[in-house]
Structure 1
Amino acid sequence: MASQLNPVTVSAPGKILLAGGYLVLEAPHQGFVIAADKRFYTNIRISESKGAAKDTVITVVSPQFHLEWKYSYSTETGTLVADLDNATTNPFVEKSLRVSFFYLHPTKEMLSSNLVITIYADNDFYSVLPHLPKGPDGSSIDRTPAAVEALPKFLKCPLDNDGKAIVNKTGLGSSAALTTSLVGALVYFFTNNNESKDEDLPEKIHNLAQICHSYAQGKVGSGFDVSAACHGTHVYCRFPKCLLPDLLQQLEDVDQHTDHNTQNLQDTLTRLVELVPWKEGMVQEITLPKGQLQILLADVRGGSESPSMARTVLNWKAQHPGSDIPHWTALSQLNAKVVELIRGLSSSPIASEEYDKLSKLVASDWPAESPLLELHRTFMEIRTDLREMGEAAGVPIEPPPQTALCDATMKIPGVITALVPGAGGYDAVACLYIDRPSVLESIGKLWAEWKEPIICPLAVRATNGGLQLEKQET
């Protein structure tokens, strides 16, 4: 019965693609994706009253965006219908609900009450600049790491003159983290899996979340962002592109009412979520050396259209037949080298005292035999190849303002690399550094004083964890 369905809260992390930009779109190339310690959360609970309506009413609330959406769900037909009074639509919410309900197909006994779904996110997915206090001079904004860390949790987006939320993304993969947390919460809620021992449940959630995210995007992406939201930090190799197009077309046909065979859709969906192996070796374990290396991310507030940039680069690549593609081949080898070096640092740790010593020197002054120097140089080569590939393809993978910022950051003692993560562009800058307070303070000082573009350090740091079921407050 519905009264037995306990409230659940599921969270999923954001991501930072430190190595593998563009190449991760095509197997067998690898991507080194780091899970952020900032998360999207989805809470699902039974509403206090059912009311007289025949269908179940599902209310989705997003306080940070000042938004609410209502849907009605029929347990008889298995269909989800958006309320005509919804002021906006969010495809990642609506299509994730639609596909998840097709898969879970909750019964009338399960849904004898209405549902309330609340979605909220840690601050760093969106620019925190509007929320920062004034600096010591009273006119500038205090853009220091300490000021960002001190902000209250779950800040609401500011509103424009028309009352609409002003949303400036920071490139942490908000749509993937939202989708994964929502799908995970729905699966846990309807399978009553608060204390689940189903070892396959995380993989089922991953597969369903990939399907929902692809459907909401209208295309099959690389999937590394959803994979990070599920599995945390890892080395990723994309799933076969051929897995999802037929299913996505079926979903589209049912959505457009050109095909009413929902049973066939449900069978296909169940098979892809539960029975079909996606790819052996898709997720390979890796971690940053604990307590020694860390990530700092800068909000640049430019914003880039990653999908259109990716299409342009792939079109450029298609103009170079053969196996030895300029920059592409070199990047494949360099990305694999980064993974090898990180694994080596974790499996054969450098003494903490050695990290202390290196944190006081700029990378160019590190000993020639140091694996950190080799890691630094490998990232330098990656930056060069990505920048030149972008110039050849006509895409600003590392725009000149970002180049200047990264170069300046890399002159700070203890910094291994500073680069534009993922697809590049104007979204963000990431810095991999030796995890010592003096290094973090120096990076924060440089970024806080940087004039053009205006940037702001974020509170996000690297972690290992992926999707998790949160403890309920009593």
Structure 2
Amino acid sequence: MTVSPGSPRTTVVSAPGKVLVAGGYLVLEPQYRGLVIATSSRFYCVVRDDSSAHGTGNNGDFKDGLATRDSVAADRPLDADSALIVVRAGQFPADSSTWRYRLSLERLSSSTAQKNDKEEEVSETSHPSITLAPLDTSKRNKFVEITLSRTLALAWEMIAAGAAEAAGVDKGTTETGILGSQGAMGADVEWAAGRELLRRLRGEGRACHLVMLADNDFYSQREQLAAASLPLRLSSLAALPPFHPLPRPITSTNKTGLGSSAALVTSLVAGLLSHLSLIDLTPASTPTSTATATATASAIPTPEPVLSPSRSLDLVHSLAQLAHCLAQGKVGSGFDVSSAVYGSHLYRRFSPSILTPLMDAPISPIVLPSRSGWASGAAEAAGVGEAGVGGAAGVRGTSGLISALDPSSWDQETVPSRLPRGIRMMLADVDAGTDTPSFVSRVLSFRKENRAEGQRLWDSLERSNGSVAEAIAGLVRLEGSKGYDEALRRAAGKRIDETTRAHLRALSAASGVPVEPPEQTRLLDQCSALPGVIGGGVPGAGGFDAIFLLVLDDPAVVDSVEDTWETFSEMSVCPLSARQSDGGLRAETVSGVRGLAEALGKA
């Protein structure tokens, strides 16, 4: 990509939502698998340099007013060793959904005492660190903030590794690691790599802007349909503009359970790493052109090559899993992030022990792995607390992210899958609430306290889930054969979901947790009785939030399902426009996504 002076670089990536159609609860344990289907609805991250922001006022304000004096971090004008990062959730009110950060390259000092025969000598050393400081600490978004901090930490480490390799640093010694000695050589390489990171981040200006936009299905559109006096039908959803603005802050907006946080984190990681020329998401069949950095006194000698598309996906997966787990405060199953990266597949989770050391690392400025031991003491001496240095984001000291996130050390299993030709996934948002974390906690407590019964139910669910996955795979294998259409019609009469749903109802009764509530049972039974409906259920952890159906992709079948949803009296059922999608994370263009340019203009 060739960038002319003054023209902003723009990077666009998207990640799909997810539906766990088989494997709820079981997918938390590595001995079981889940079938996750990616959705056609996607989450977008648009990254752009601010080429107009070449200078700042006396207060550190940009000409466009992006930085303000509402923070100590804004008192100092931006210079060659700092950059502004602005993240905007484009569909929500700007005052509550814009987050600004100052990224600063700084030197931290430490004292080392050494005794000789006569006296104690104290030597002062300094090493580079990077601080990500929010400009307004009164409003924070942990998913955005933690994802930024971990992505920037990995980016700095990757650039430094490339610089060390270009400089001929010996990577074979365990004491010094990939970044060279603890002396001037290592510090100089790290500082140059930090400046190169800032240069790539801000481009021709002083800032990097990221806009996050989601297809309408990720958030409930009931209020928007009611305001337009439109019925709860697919045709009504199609009448709404793409990336429809939402009136309230994110925390006050109902989500539909498609995995918005996982898709946000994944697209943010991929968008930023792509923008920094560290990964390549271009399909292998598409020719690529990689920008090369100009070698200057402040830049690394030569830029490191971007990773291949397949390795890029694997690295994004590892980093997004880490960021998502940190934001959630626990190591989850990871199927939602996996689907956001790889699309539809059979999933077996990774070992939690892979991420546990990174979850427990102390909060500190971002430092490189050769400084991690030193940085812990320096951070403690500096009084670094839960907010980081000077109110900085909760960035965690690295123990070598390149090594920890190396995909070859991860053990998750992803087997590509898809729905057969002629079958469509239909989704509905049910107007009732489910506390998913509470559901999971209560079900797992039941299993722990009733080991024999719990194991019996888990094994029964594993067998029935396997039958569902095999039935789907069997139809895929028959595609193109003369008997395929007949096999599809037979599948519509078998109700492949019945056994799994029966086991989920047994789990509901045994645990006291409404995994498939009676209201959902009656709704699903009505739908399953319709001609052309192959099966369905409550996705993921179950509850009242949503249902999915697998149906013949026939307009008459879709209409009959919609009629049933619209007339169901026990709960309000609103369709989602999403279908299944086989694709995962991918690069996009602004012009190639309907409505994206208009949405960016309003964001």
1:284 to 408, 415, 423: 415
Give the equivalent residue in structure 1 for 2:400: 268
Name the CA shift for 1:197/1:212 in 2 (closer, same or farther; >3 Å).
closer
Say whether the 8 Å CA contact 1:11–1:469 is kept in structure 2: yes
Tell me how far apart the structure 2 counterparts of residues 352 and 396 of structure 1 sit (CA, whole Å). Answer: 43
Identity %: 35
Say whether the 8 Å CA contact 1:127–1:301 is kept in structure 2: no
Matches within 5 A, 1:399-438: 399-438=517-556
Say whether the 8 Å CA contact 1:397–1:425 is kept in structure 2: yes
Give the equivalent residue in structure 1 for 2:155: 104
Q: State the Cα deviation string for residues 95-136 of structure 1 (Å, max 9, x = none).
A: 10111111112632342421111001000011111111679x
What is the CA distance between 1:268 and its match in structure 2? 2.9
Tell me how far apart the structure 1 counterparts of residues 538 and 458 of structure 2 sit (CA, whole Å). Answer: 17
Give the equivalent residue in structure 1 for 2:469: 339
Tell me how far apart the structure 2 counterparts of residues 240 and 126 of structure 1 sit (CA, whole Å). Answer: 31
Tell me how far apart the structure 1 counterparts of residues 534 and 16 of structure 2 sit (CA, whole Å). Answer: 24
Tell me how far apart the structure 2 counterparts of residues 61 and 211 of structure 1 sit (CA, whole Å). Answer: 22
Tell me how far apart the structure 1 counterparts of residues 246 and 227 of structure 2 sit (CA, whole Å). Answer: 18
Name the CA shift for 1:246/1:109 in 2 (closer, same or farther; >3 Å).
closer
User: What SS class does the counterpart of residue 87 from structure 2 fall into?
Assistant: strand
Say whether the 8 Å CA contact 2:565–2:573 is kept in structure 1: yes
User: What SS class does the counterpart of residue 75 from structure 1 fall into?
Assistant: strand
Give the equivalent residue in structure 2 for 1:18: 21
Say whether the 8 Å CA contact 1:15–1:35 is kept in structure 2: yes
Structure 2 gap segments, 5+ residues each: 57-76, 107-128, 157-192, 200-205, 281-287, 289-305, 367-374, 381-387, 389-394, 592-596, 598-603
What is the CA distance between 1:401 and its match in structure 2? 1.5
What is the CA distance between 1:28 and its match in structure 2? 1.7
Name the CA shift for 1:127/1:207 in 2 (closer, same or farther; >3 Å).
same
Provide the aligned C-alpha RMSD in A: 2.8
Give the equivalent residue in structure 2 for 1:202: 313
What is the CA distance between 1:253 and its match in structure 2? 6.4
1:78 matches 2:130: yes
Name the CA shift for 1:324/1:49 in 2 (closer, same or farther; >3 Å).
closer
Residue 225 of structure 2 aligns with an amino acid whose one-letter code is: L
Name the CA shift for 1:62/1:372 in 2 (closer, same or farther; >3 Å).
same
Name the CA shift for 1:248/1:241 in 2 (closer, same or farther; >3 Å).
same
2:78 to 37, 48, 53: 53
Give the equivalent residue in structure 1 for 2:240: 151
What is the CA distance between 1:265 and its match in structure 2? 4.0
Matches within 5 A, 1:30-179: 30-47=33-50, 48-50=52-54, 51=56, 52-54=77-79, 55-66=82-93, 67-76=97-106, 77-84=129-136, 87-105=138-156, 107-112=194-199, 113-132=206-225, 141-159=230-248, 166-179=252-265
Say whether the 8 Å CA contact 2:515–2:543 is kept in structure 1: yes
Say whether the 8 Å CA contact 2:475–2:487 is kept in structure 1: no
Say whether the 8 Å CA contact 1:157–1:166 is kept in structure 2: no
Residue 126 of structure 1 aligns with an amino acid whose one-letter code is: Y
Tell me how far apart the structure 2 counterparts of residues 97 and 252 of structure 1 sit (CA, whole Å). Answer: 15
Tell me how far apart the structure 1 counterparts of residues 103 and 138 of structure 2 sit (CA, whole Å). Answer: 19
Give the equivalent residue in structure 1 for 2:69: none
Tell me how far apart the structure 1 counterparts of residues 323 and 396 of structure 2 sit (CA, whole Å). Answer: 17
Q: State the Cα deviation string for residues 334-381 of structure 1 (Å, max 9, x = none).
A: 11111111111101238688648976xxxxxxxxxx45545x24x111
Give the equivalent residue in structure 1 for 2:332: 221
Residue 49 of structure 1 aligns with an amino acid whose one-letter code is: A
Give the equivalent residue in structure 1 for 2:428: 298
Name the CA shift for 1:134/1:411 in 2 (closer, same or farther; >3 Å).
farther
Name the CA shift for 1:44/1:182 in 2 (closer, same or farther; >3 Å).
same
Q: State the Cα deviation string for residues 294-346 of structure 1 (Å, max 9, x = none).
A: 11110113232222211211111112335972311100111111111111110
Matches within 5 A, 1:384-463: 384-463=502-581
Tell me how far apart the structure 2 counterparts of residues 405 and 192 of structure 1 sit (CA, whole Å). Answer: 48
Q: State the Cα deviation string for residues 366-425 of structure 1 (Å, max 9, x = none).
A: xxxx45545x24x11111111221222221111121111111111111001131111001
Say whether the 8 Å CA contact 1:145–1:459 is kept in structure 2: yes
What's the TM-score once normalised by structure 1's chain length?
Answer: 0.88
What is the CA distance between 1:2 and its match in structure 2? 11
1:330 matches 2:460: yes
Name the CA shift for 1:273/1:444 in 2 (closer, same or farther; >3 Å).
same
Structure 1 gap segments, 5+ residues each: 360-369
Residue 105 of structure 2 aligns with an amino acid whose one-letter code is: T
Q: State the Cα deviation string for residues 142-196 of structure 1 (Å, max 9, x = none).
A: 111111122110012223xxx7874111110000000000001111111254645
User: What SS class does the counterpart of residue 258 from structure 2 fall into?
Assistant: coil
Name the CA shift for 1:242/1:323 in 2 (closer, same or farther; >3 Å).
farther
Name the CA shift for 1:247/1:285 in 2 (closer, same or farther; >3 Å).
same
Say whether the 8 Å CA contact 2:439–2:541 is kept in structure 1: yes
1:308 to 438, 445, 462: 438
What is the CA distance between 1:455 and its match in structure 2? 1.2
Tell me how far apart the structure 2 counterparts of residues 419 and 21 of structure 1 sit (CA, whole Å). Answer: 11
Say whether the 8 Å CA contact 2:314–2:407 is kept in structure 1: no
Say whether the 8 Å CA contact 2:363–2:396 is kept in structure 1: no
Name the CA shift for 1:165/1:276 in 2 (closer, same or farther; >3 Å).
closer
Tell me how far apart the structure 2 counterparts of residues 176 and 183 of structure 1 sit (CA, whole Å). Answer: 11
Q: How many residues align?
A: 451
1:187 matches 2:318: no
Say whether the 8 Å CA contact 1:2–1:111 is kept in structure 2: no
